Chains A and B, each alone.
Chain A
Amino acid sequence: MTAAAAVAGASLAWLGAALLVLSDERRGLALGLAILAVGLAVATTAAGQDRLADAALAVGGACAAALQFARGGRGWGLMPPGSTPRLIGSVVVLIVTVLVAGTGLQDAAGVSRLGALVVAIMATGRLLTVRRRWAALGAGSALVLGLGALGSTPTLLLAATVAVGLNLVDVAAPEEVAA
């Protein structure tokens, strides 16, 4: 049961990360962020982490997503034309990560760790390719959540806080002129 929950959580996290990678609008990014936060929280709970901290992770991710959502336009921007390489990349990252780090898949903790790794790598990949501030901050938030999920209670709490903080930066900073 625990292992199944961990797998479900990790899968959800991957899905959320994939949505984040494949969206070109704030709403899509927010959706991906929320899903991956929930997925990571489920996975870390299944791995035996403190439930409060896991809940905080989910709440933090949700708040970050909400901040993005609130400033978004009407569209979701999911899988726009030209996003096929990103889609393939999302799948490839999952496969490669499983192959490389798959030795730790024996238990729920290993699965949770794998999920967090996948999220972190995909988020970094997204961050390295975008040029808009909101997209970078969204990817940064995902990276923070993914890395936070690798740690223990204090790290989970910190990750939630930093994820919200990053998106508050977007709110507080002056409007960015499109590059």
Chain B
Amino acid sequence: MGLKRLGRTQDPTILVLTSLTGGPKHGYSLIQDIESMSGVTMGPGTLYGVLARLEEEGLVEALPAEDRRRPYRLTSLGAATLRERLETISNVARIGLARLRT
């Protein structure tokens, strides 16, 4: 309820990149993994919007398709970008939690 009041806090780009850190995944397994990881139910419109953007920026790359299922994997640039972003988020989270404790 409280989280809902704060609005949408999960960035779909981060969610897709984080999901791909566990290895290459195709669209449906990405959606399932993101849902189990964060509780976010992503639709195909959102997912392919994010994938198109990440592919354009060279953060992910598509692998050969099998039976209309195309897996995607994280590139080294994508891994570096994600690490940097997660460290910032983690820093903010650490500071915020520490301040809440005092």
Asked if A pairs with B, the answer is: no
